[in-house]
Chains A and B, each alone.
Chain A
Amino acid sequence: MTAIPLTSQSQSVAPGLVTAPTVTDAEIDASCQAPILLLFANAAVWLFIGSVLGLLATLKFHQPEILANCAWFTYGRVHPAQMNAFIYGFGVPTGLAVLLWIVCQTGRVRLALPQVVVAGALLWNAGVTLGLIGILYGDSTGFEWLEMPRYGSIPMLAGYLIIGVMAMLTLHQRRERALQISQWFLLTALLWFAWIYTTANFLLVAFPARGVVQPVIDSWYINNLTNIWFGFIGIATLFYLVPKLIDNPLYSRYLAVFLFWTLLFFGSWTAVGPGAPMPAWIPAVSTVGTVLLLIPTLAFAITLKKTMECQTQKAKTSLPFQFLFFAPPAYLLSRLALVVTSLARVSVVTQFTWFTPAVTQLFLYGFFAMTMFGAIYYIAPRLLGTAFPSPKLVKFHFSLALFGILLYSLPLAIGGVRQGYALNDASLSLQNTLDSWLMCLRVSTLGELLMVLANLLLLVNLGAIIYCRASVEAKAAWVANKIAGVRP
């Protein structure tokens, strides 16, 4: 955790006198091309696999007999496999890829040792594959979001550390010495994941803590991964890309700095909900942290609202912008729901219901994945030097993803509240509480199906642009020949 690069900028020149960048965009993109495309492509595959697993898990609420004789595909294995495929298969690798690219761009520097980053990405990917097989086989550790057994989590951590060291090395070599606000977010997230992931695996899997200390650490990990890692990477991406797309600087740098510190303090202090079987100070303190999360949430909403107000026509028509435009409202909505449900009076209804997964999914897919989709559609054409062959399919991807997440989260949230009231009404038998939410859950399956199709379209679009690039030289030669009048 010694961030040498951050502290080693004592020789940096004053901001006004920065030496002219000598590295061109083309050089940066050439160094980033292989590792970042590999991370993107892998992530898209896992995203699709994860959503198919998710659909299978939900279908079991329509018909519990589906694949019921197969231990590998029982609900209690498919559901965690889906979450892990999303978080570690899609979320972390795309986050890392975008992080590497932004660090290169803002620092005006080539990616350090791209081959090593590729090796790190492959190692990470091997870990995810082994871990998911482990979960389906029945080797889950029993901790939510940390189900991957050791033979999955250790290669993953090694891959992460390799990529992380390369990111720090790239940052160290940067030519633009001044750190932008988006770099603050990215670097904090980069270091914090290593800390929380090792802490959690060390104290839960390697040398398990005693009793309820385990669930405390697990929820601390889940909330820090959500609010700090996914939150920071998403916010950094928005703060970097949105001003670029609308040709307008960020609304207020001071507000962004304020957001950084408040989210850092309060976002990391969210852990356990009220009513948990542990000393009362633990839920109480984390409720305070969660309620104070309101401050950075509003700061974030104001910053992006004000920045996006003066959007140009150019931005409205650009493909990535629509994804980035939807992400802040999803963030605002999901964090407000989190704040409200952390209060004991509301939590008594929503705790243990479908409301929680609805809010989590709104954050992970509506905010984080949408931001990452925007980033992928922004970065991939630059790395490959060619546009997406079918902008219509990109727009279609956006529509499917948008309706998918809305159709998933809203019915499930409503069902969750109904379920909460039914569970608290002791005159209803437990069988009768099913009626309160089962229909809502079945409606949300439609949203899940749309998300599966959206994720498939991402895969198709990425495949198409890579295929285009592969054949672009051949095409160019063919066109040149045609112009020259040479007929085959």
Chain B
Amino acid sequence: MNPGPLLFLGAFFALATSWLGFVLAPQLQLGREQLVEIQETGVAYPPMRPGMARQGERVYRANGCFYCHTQQVREQLYGADVVRGWGGRAGKVQSVAQDYLQDSPVMLGSQRVGPDLANIGLRHPSANALLWHLYNPRLVATGSVMPPYRYLFTKRKLKPGEKPSAEALPSNMPGAPVDEQIIPTDDARALVAYLQSLHSDGVLFETPPPPAPPTNAVATASTNAPSTKAPATNAPATNTPARTPTNGPAK
């Protein structure tokens, strides 16, 4: 018997199932995901990155930052991500699919030579500290193996008595050169703007905040009464029942 056609069809079918499972099915489930409006603020989540940060995403990609830094926080008891303070929101802190809707490419990363950056924008508010870190990581973190990105800066010797220009990095960093000024290029500023725009802190239906602890003795005594502090989520069925017990005794 000639096994050729059967073999071909079988192999085709086997491999097609993997394509259906890992390309088509995720695309059908997640490909049309929409932004979600956060109830407290009314802002769509995830927010669009400002133009400078979008430029910075290009710098981040071109220089391969994602080979050493992940952008994904794992769940509470899975690894020490949350204890290390890499999470962005209270309660269920892990990264979810919704967080990445504004990214292209989505650079989840696969190695943690350095810290996770999913929420670096929440942890590191100062642009100058980030710029110094990029210029010379060992000024900020002793013993770091991060390569310096001096090619994102220009350096100019200061004439005696000359004041550093406004764009130059402030020389308040210990160990910083004193007689020259370091001016970040547009790429460096864009990269920092991108890093500052990294925060996955939207409280979503799939990442509800922690159940609020009971605030007074009455609340603890009453068995069924839901917490008076209604968690501000877009999750359904949290607001309506919370009002009933407070309204009841007043009448």
Interface pair A275/B79, CB less than 8 Å apart: yes
B residues less than 8 Å from A351 (CB atoms): 79
Bound: A3/B146 CA distance, A: 50
Interface pair A214/B105, CB less than 8 Å apart: yes
Given A69-B151, A80-B67, A348-B78: A277 and B95 interface contact (C-beta under 8 Å): yes
Interface pair A220/B27, CB less than 8 Å apart: no
Given A74-B147, A210-B30, A276-B108: A220 and B18 interface contact (C-beta under 8 Å): yes
Given A74-B147, A140-B61: A211 and B27 interface contact (C-beta under 8 Å): no
Interface pair B142/A431, CB less than 8 Å apart: yes
From 226 to 267 in chain A, residues with beta carbon under 8 angstroms from any chain B beta carbon are: 228, 261, 264-265
* Residue from B31, B83, B107, B108 within 8 A of A277 (CB atoms): B108
From 138 to 159 in chain B, residues with beta carbon under 8 angstroms from any chain A beta carbon are: 138, 141-151
Bound: A10/B6 CA distance, A: 12
Bound: A398/B8 CA distance, A: 37
* Residue from A1, A80, A265, A286 within 8 A of B22 (CB atoms): A286
Interface pair A277/B94, CB less than 8 Å apart: yes
Bound: A438/B114 CA distance, A: 13
A224 interface residue (CB < 8 Å to B) = yes
CB distance from A168 to the nearest CB of B (A): 12
Bound: A278/B25 CA distance, A: 13
Bound: A75/B67 CA distance, A: 9
Interface pair B106/A275, CB less than 8 Å apart: no
CB distance from B169 to the nearest CB of A (A): 17
Interface pair A204/B141, CB less than 8 Å apart: no
* Residue from A65, A212, A282, A286 within 8 A of B106 (CB atoms): A212
Bound: A461/B2 CA distance, A: 43
Interface pair B14/A261, CB less than 8 Å apart: yes
A445 interface residue (CB < 8 Å to B) = no
Interface pair A209/B67, CB less than 8 Å apart: no
Main secondary structure of the interface of B (DSSP, over half): loop
B214 interface residue (CB < 8 Å to A) = no
B residues less than 8 Å from A79 (CB atoms): 64, 67
Bound: A188/B64 CA distance, A: 33
A486 interface residue (CB < 8 Å to B) = no
Given A271-B22, A279-B29, A423-B112: A76 and B67 interface contact (C-beta under 8 Å): yes
A268 interface residue (CB < 8 Å to B) = yes
Interface pair A430/B114, CB less than 8 Å apart: yes
A475 interface residue (CB < 8 Å to B) = no
Bound: A261/B10 CA distance, A: 9
* Residue from B23, B80, B146 within 8 A of A203 (CB atoms): B23
Residue of B nearest to A278 (CB): B97
Bound: A120/B40 CA distance, A: 59
Interface pair B143/A199, CB less than 8 Å apart: no
A474 interface residue (CB < 8 Å to B) = no
Could you tell me how many residues of chain B have their Cβ less than 8 Å away from some Cβ of chain A? 75
Residue of A nearest to B112 (CB): A352
CB distance from A49 to the nearest CB of B (A): 18
B163 interface residue (CB < 8 Å to A) = no
* Residue from A224, A275, A357 within 8 A of B78 (CB atoms): A275
Residue of A nearest to B151 (CB): A71
Given A61-B145, A76-B63, A423-B80: A276 and B72 interface contact (C-beta under 8 Å): yes
Given A348-B78, A431-B144: A212 and B11 interface contact (C-beta under 8 Å): no
Interface pair B97/A139, CB less than 8 Å apart: no
Given A144-B110, A277-B72: A199 and B19 interface contact (C-beta under 8 Å): yes
B126 interface residue (CB < 8 Å to A) = no
CB distance from A484 to the nearest CB of B (A): 56
A residues less than 8 Å from B101 (CB atoms): 210-211
B residues less than 8 Å from A434 (CB atoms): 143-145
A residues less than 8 Å from B115 (CB atoms): 430
CB distance from A311 to the nearest CB of B (A): 30
A12 interface residue (CB < 8 Å to B) = yes
Given A138-B63, A220-B18: A179 and B7 interface contact (C-beta under 8 Å): yes
Bound: A215/B26 CA distance, A: 11
A463 interface residue (CB < 8 Å to B) = no
CB distance from B209 to the nearest CB of A (A): 18
A353 interface residue (CB < 8 Å to B) = yes
A residues less than 8 Å from B4 (CB atoms): 6-7, 9, 179
CB distance from A274 to the nearest CB of B (A): 8
Given A144-B110, A203-B23, A211-B30: A69 and B8 interface contact (C-beta under 8 Å): no
CB distance from A393 to the nearest CB of B (A): 35
Bound: A353/B68 CA distance, A: 10
B84 interface residue (CB < 8 Å to A) = yes
Residue of B nearest to A263 (CB): B14
Q: List 7 A-B contacts (CB under 8 A).
A: A76-B66, A77-B63, A142-B66, A208-B105, A217-B22, A265-B14, A348-B74
Residues of B within 8 A of A (CB): 2-5, 7-8, 10-12, 14-15, 17-19, 21-23, 26-27, 29-33, 61-68, 70, 72-75, 78-80, 83-84, 94-101, 103-112, 114-115, 137-138, 141-151
Q: Can you add 9 more A-B contacts, CB < 8 Å, to A7-B4, A138-B63, A220-B18?
A: A68-B147, A142-B105, A184-B7, A204-B105, A215-B106, A269-B21, A275-B78, A426-B83, A434-B145
